[in-house]
């Protein structure tokens, strides 16, 4: 089974405008509402690839109820801990030409310590050996920086595989618990390691340092330039296919979804990352916050490039 853990989910509202202007009233030409949060985005990509998953995390209030119903309508399983307060709403303003965007995220509701313990107990109760868990996104107010680390400890105790996609101290503490894989982007890897990441060699050095922190495998995403993978077998640079980019928001989450899907299908780690990069590119080529279709992902996968950097860790 694949689970996605989203601690700070959101209803994402996107407004399309002719141009972004400041100190002016903008009139939207289009609007849409999606059910977001990094883990949910992964679940949406898994659904697009034909694989079920269950979304786990915190929800609250009417916004939380709307989000849960929306996920169910998409065919995504849910198993939430309910908190007082209101699940957040995030706002995106995107130009019609897709050349600029502004995204504003709310903080989210306060989550008390008892609710955090309730969620950890739920994870402990439902996890089986061989399950996959994607732990993704920011922490809502009140949640301790070591929450992901504690969750990974539980998952490792059940011989499940944890994929961690978060930032800062949460990422550092999570690495120490030896997750199966972590996926920072370049900026997050730079902040975590303190290294300059100007070249693939630099990024490879950062990946090695992150593995020294405890992560078994590391993928550092590089946006339109693809991703770098380092595992015990070596280092691979995986290049993204050429697309007409429309909205990059959520592309990194789609990459994680494609990667996990391919791993559950038996692909090697670097081949799985090829599927992940194709999935991320497919989503970036879509308008709004749609994820790429399986047909498009399969087509783009044929144009993903691989370079073995020959670095053994």
Catalytically active residues are: 253
DSSP percent split of the chain into helix, strand, coil, nearest 5:
40, 25, 35
Q: What distance in Å separates the CA atoms of residue 135 and residue 251, rounded to the nearest whole number?
A: 16
99: exposed, middle or buried (C-beta count within 10 Å: 0-12, 13-18, 19+)? exposed
Q: What distance in Å separates the CA atoms of residue 233 and residue 313, rounded to the nearest whole number?
A: 7
Quick one: tokens of 138? Answer: 């920011």
Q: How many CB atoms lie within 10 A of CB 268?
A: 12
The DSSP output letter for 27 is -
Asked whether the beta carbons of 102 and 90 are under 8 A apart, the reply is no
Quick one: tokens of 77? Answer: 């399983």
Asked whether the beta carbons of 64 and 87 are under 8 A apart, the reply is yes
H helices present in the chain, as ranges: 38-48, 61-73, 113-126, 147-157, 168-175, 186-193, 200-212, 251-264, 269-284, 294-301
């Amino acid at each position: 089974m694949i689970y996605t853990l989203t601690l700070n989910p959101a209803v994402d509202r996107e407004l399309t405008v002719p141009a972004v202007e400041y100190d002016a009233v903008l009139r939207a030409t289009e609007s849409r509402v999606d059910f977001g949060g990094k883990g949910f985005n992964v679940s949406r990509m898994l659904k697009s690839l034909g694989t079920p998953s269950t979304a786990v995390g915190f929800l609250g209030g009417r916004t939380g109820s709307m989000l849960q119903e929306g996920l169910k309508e998409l065919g995504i399983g849910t198993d939430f801990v309910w908190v007082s307060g209101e699940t957040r709403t995030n706002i995106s303003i995107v130009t019609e030409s897709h050349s600029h965007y502004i995204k504003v995220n709310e903080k989210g509701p306060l989550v008390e310590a008892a609710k955090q313990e309730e969620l950890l107990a739920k994870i402990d109760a439902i996890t089986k050996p061989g399950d996959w868990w994607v732990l993704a996104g920011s922490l809502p107010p009140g949640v301790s920086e070591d929450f992901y680390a504690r969750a990974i400890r539980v998952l490792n105790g059940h011989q499940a595989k944890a994929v961690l996609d978060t930032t800062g101290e949460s990422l550092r503490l999570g690495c120490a618990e030896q997750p199966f894989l972590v996926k920072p982007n370049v900026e997050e890897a730079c902040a975590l390691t303190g290294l300059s990441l100007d070249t693939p060699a630099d990024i490879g050095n950062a990946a090695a340092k992150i593995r020294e922190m405890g992560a078994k495998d590391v993928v550092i995403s590089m946006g339109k330039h693809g991703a770098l993978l380092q595992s015990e077998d070596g280092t691979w640079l995986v290049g993204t296919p050429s697309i007409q980019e429309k909205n990059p928001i959520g592309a990194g989450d789609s990459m994680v979804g494609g990667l996990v899907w391919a791993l559950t299908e038996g692909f090697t780690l670097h081949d799985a990352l090829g599927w992940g990069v194709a999935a991320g590119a497919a989503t970036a080529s879509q308008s709004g916050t749609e994820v790429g279709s399986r047909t498009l992902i399969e087509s783009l996968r044929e144009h993903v490039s691989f370079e073995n950097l020959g670095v053994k860790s």
